[in-house]
């Protein structure tokens, strides 16, 4: 079966979470893949691994569209990612925005059970 699905990056508006600092992360399902768009506000630890959503952070494979963020992994590796960078980060991480503009990033993951 041939299928195709598309979504404009500015129209990823389903299943949104808003963090206490006003940062948002929304996602859309496209056949067998989930695509997410996050707009992360300035400040430290804007995406804590356990709170304020009560959920642990997930694995992310993605690309930064604008801004810059630093990621701290569970084993204390600290890496900065910015405009145009692709990244893979494991679960249980923290992240915070660097500089003077929000960080906008996109990530993708396969939906379990789809090939």
Is residue 2, in this structure, part of any structural domain at all?
no
Is residue 83, in this structure, part of any structural domain at all?
yes
- The pLDDT of residue 114: 53
- The pLDDT of residue 94: 83
Whichever domain contains 62, its CATH number is 2.60.120.10
Is residue 39, in this structure, part of any structural domain at all?
yes
Domain count, the chain: 1
Is residue 101, in this structure, part of any structural domain at all?
yes
- The pLDDT of residue 1: 56
Q: Is the pLDDT score of 12 beyond 50?
A: yes
- The pLDDT of residue 55: 54
Range of the domain at 79: 13-110
Cβ burial, residue 1 (10 Å; 0-12/13-18/19+) = exposed
Is residue 8, in this structure, part of any structural domain at all?
no
42-98 residue pLDDT tens: 865 444 444 444 456 777 899 999 999 998 888 889 999 999 999 998 888 888 899
Is residue 5, in this structure, part of any structural domain at all?
no
Token pair recorded at residue 100:
């003077």
- Prediction pTM value: 0.79
**Could you count the other beta carbons within 10 Å of the beta carbon of residue 6?**
7
Is residue 63, in this structure, part of any structural domain at all?
yes
- Residue 13's pLDDT band, with cuts at 50, 70 and 90, is confident
Listed range (2-6, 78-82, 89-93, 109-113) with the worst mean pLDDT: 109-113
């Amino acid at each position: 079966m041939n299928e195709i699905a598309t979504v404009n990056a500015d129209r990823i508006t389903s299943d949104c979470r808003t963090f206490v600092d006003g940062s948002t992360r929304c996602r859309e399902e496209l056949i067998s893949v989930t695509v997410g768009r996050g707009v992360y506000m300035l400040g430290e630890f804007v995406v804590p691994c356990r709170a304020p959503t009560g959920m642990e952070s997930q694995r992310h494979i993605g690309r930064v569209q604008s801004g810059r963020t630093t990621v701290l992994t569970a084993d204390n590796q600290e890496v900065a990612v910015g405009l145009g960078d692709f990244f893979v980060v494991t679960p249980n991480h923290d992240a915070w925005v660097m500089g003077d503009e929000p960080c906008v990033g996109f990530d993708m993951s396969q939906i379990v059970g789809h090939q």
